[in-house]
Amino acid sequence: MAHLLTFILSHAVPDVCVETVQVVESPTNPQWGLDLEEGAFRVIEAECRYTLDVRPRPYVYWRRFRETFSNWEQLAFKYGATVHSVVVCKLCPEFPSQDALVSWLSDVLNLSPGERKLLRLCGEV
């Protein structure tokens, strides 16, 4: 999916160089528990958030993306993005699932049904 995302995002904001794009899965709100066999605490459950990492200049890319696509914020909230990632962070919003991330990006960029399906197939979403 990385090559397809790189292609799509580089065409969405053509005046900013895009070399690579990755979906990043970040655990949040870890729940710790005592592993009686190991005698140590470990994470037993964690929620994950999904975002896009655009390189080499992520802040420049997402600033230009936000200037270009005025509906990005409204759609981010529609798909469950965290308030902090939309209001405070200057990068891609964080979503509760990879499917929500792909749906948000597809809606913001107004991708065709075929492009949406291809993106989901490549990411196995």
Tell me which amino acid residue 97 is. Answer: S
Range of the domain at 103: 2-123
Each residue's pLDDT tens digit, 18-77: 999 999 998 887 677 777 787 888 776 678 999 999 999 999 999 999 999 999 999 999
Nearest to 65 by CA among 54, 50, 77: 54
Residues 69-107 have pLDDT tens digits of 999 999 999 999 999 999 999 999 999 999 999 999 999
Residues 6+ away with beta carbon under 8 Å from 50: 23, 24, 25, 26, 94, 95, 96, 97, 98, 100, 101
For 15: left if phi > 0, alpha if psi spans -120 to 50, otherwise beta; the answer is alpha
- Domains held by the chain: number: 1
Sign of CA dihedral 78, 81, 84, 85: negative
Give dist(CA 51, CA 41) in Å, integer: 28
Query: How does residue 125 score in pLDDT terms, banded at 50, 70 and 90?
Result: very low
